[in-house]
Amino acid sequence: MKVKFNKDCVIDKKEIENAVFKNENIEFEGYTATRDFQLTANKILAFFLSACKKECFLSSLAYSSSELLGNADKANIKRCFCEECNLDINNPIDYEAAMIDFKVEISSNLKHYRELQEKNRLYIKYNLSYIDGVISLKIINKATLTDDEKLKIRKKFERARQYHSIEEAYTTIDQSEGSGLGIIIIVLMLKQIGLGPECFNIESKNGETISSVLIPA
C-alpha cells in the first residue's frame, strides 16, 4: 500500500503517522524538483521521522534528499534537451555535444524545459518507508542512466572512499559542474553516522533511475 501526495495536496501529519504505523509507503510525486517541491519533501520527511522517532537522521536525510532530487531533476531535463536537439543521449558524441550548450540554454529557457518535463511525463517520485525498523528513502525519476553516467557515478563512489571527513572533501574537490561533490558528501554523511557505502545506491531498472538511502534498524 502507498499513501500518495502531489504538489496540490495538503500534507497531513496525521496521515503520515498512520502510514508509518501501518508500514505503508509514503510517496510524493511531481514533474519538477522546484524549490517548492523540495520544501514539501522536507516537510514530509520531518513528519515521517517524527512518527518513526528517528529525528536524529533529519539533517543527513534532508541533505541527501535535496542532492538526489536535484540530480533527478537535472537528468530529466537533459533528456528533454537532447530530444529537442535531435541528439541521442546514449551516444557519447551526441551527449558531449549536448552538454556544451546545456547549462546556458537551461538557465535562459528553464520554463520551457519545465513544461517539456510534464508534457513528456518525466516524473520524479519521493518515496519513504519504515518497515521492520529500516528507514528507506528513494528518489525515482523517469530516465535510465547512460553507460557514461553509470561510469561517472561509480567513480564518485570510489572517490568518496579516499576521504576521511566532509571537510576534507570540501577543501579538496573542485566544486564545479560535474564534480560529483553531492554524492561524495552523502557517502561521507552516512559514514559519520556509522553507515557504509552499501546503504546508498543508484541504479536503473524498468525505465527508471532509483537513488536509495537505507538506514538499518
The stretch 52-71 carries a mean pLDDT of 95
The per-residue pLDDT for 130 is 96
Looking at the chain, the whole-number percentage of residues with pLDDT higher than 70 is: 95
Q: How confident is the model at residue 164 (pLDDT cuts 50, 70, 90)?
A: confident
> Quick one: pLDDT at residue 176?
55
pLDDT tens-digit series, residues 63-77? 999 999 999 999 999
Contact assessment for residue 201 and residue 211, using Cβ atoms and an 8 Å cutoff: yes
For 104, 106, 115, 116, 135, the CA distances from 120, given in Å and listed in that order, are 22, 17, 9, 6, 31
Mean pLDDT for the chain overall: 91
Is pLDDT above 80 for 5?
no
**Band of pLDDT at residue 177, cut at 50, 70 and 90:** very low
Contact status, residue 186 vs residue 64, Cβ threshold 8 Å:
yes
Report the pLDDT value the prediction gives residue 173, as an integer from 0 to 100. 75
CA 83 to CA 141: how far, in whole Å? 17
**What's the whole-number mean pLDDT along residues 27-40?**
93
pTM attached to this predicted model:
0.91
* CA atoms of 49 and 46, how far apart (whole Å): 5
